[in-house]
Amino acid sequence: MIYGYTRCSTTERQQDITRQCRELTAMGAEEIYLEYESGAKINRTQLNRLLKAVVPGDTIVVTEISRITRSTKQLCDIIDLAVNKKLKLVIGTLTVDCADIDPMTEGMIKLMGVFAEMERGMTISRIKSGLKNAKAKGVKLGRPPLRAENIPIVVQKHFYLYRDGHINKAQFARLCGVSLPTIYKYIRLLTDG
């Protein structure tokens, strides 16, 4: 069986994972595991499911090393599992038969993992530097404070139903398509002014 694994760090609303899925299908993936988690996170549900599902002779395909992990230690663990289960790893255009992996190829894969981890570290460093610079310039970071005039129209429109006791907070939240904590904020603003 040929398994594909694809990952993005943010939610499906923020990042589109379909390009990776298309590429994995073109690479022969018969079943694809999708995940929206950081590549540095060690305990990922879909990756763990994939690693438990593979049996000797199976193949794992990823578009690039950073999709499967951004942790060199975890990559070493995955390579060990692939060697023990005699799997094939396909990383982009590189195909590695782990049943008979040579030290040079194993070292090259691990080096690719080091670069993926380093890339993540550099990105985090740039973000921190940018935030520090913005603060130094007096930029207010984070969400702007919520004001009564910014409350969505749908909440304002149905507030009277809650206020008059026709619906409870959970029903009010469902009716407006927002979470319960959000509806609590809106109610507080609408009642306290």
All residues at 6 or more sequence positions from 5 whose CB lies less than 8 Å from its CB, including other chains: 24, 32, 33, 35, 46, 47, 50, 60, 61, 62, 67, 68
Amino acid at residue number 33: Y
Q: Measured between alpha carbons, how far is 57 from 99 in angstroms, rounded to an integer? A: 8
**What's this model's pTM, rounded to 2 decimal places?**
0.68
pLDDT tier at 134, thresholds 50, 70, 90: very high
Q: What is the pLDDT of residue 12?
A: 64
Token pair, residue 175, equals 């009716």
Higher pLDDT, 115 or 150: 115
Domain segments of the chain: what residues?
2-125, 148-192
Structure tokens at 22: 């298309």
Residue pair 152/141 in contact by the 8 Å Cβ criterion: no
How much is the pLDDT for 24?
A: 95
pLDDT digits (tens, 9 = 90+) for 48-75: 999 999 999 999 999 999 999 989 999 9
Tokens coding 4? 């594909």
Could you tell me the pLDDT band of residue 193, with boundaries at 50, 70 and 90?
low
Q: Is pLDDT above 90 for 14?
A: no
At 86-97, the pLDDT tens digits run 999 999 999 999
User: pLDDT class for 145, splitting at 50, 70, 90?
Assistant: confident
Determine the average pLDDT of the residues in 143-157.
Answer: 86
Q: What is the 3-state secondary structure (H, E, C) of 120-143?
A: HHHHHHHHHHHHHHHHHCCCCCCC
Torsions phi, psi of 167, nearest 5?
-135, 155
What is the CATH T-level fold of the domain 2-125, as seen in this structure? Rossmann fold (3.40.50)
pLDDT value of position 167: 94
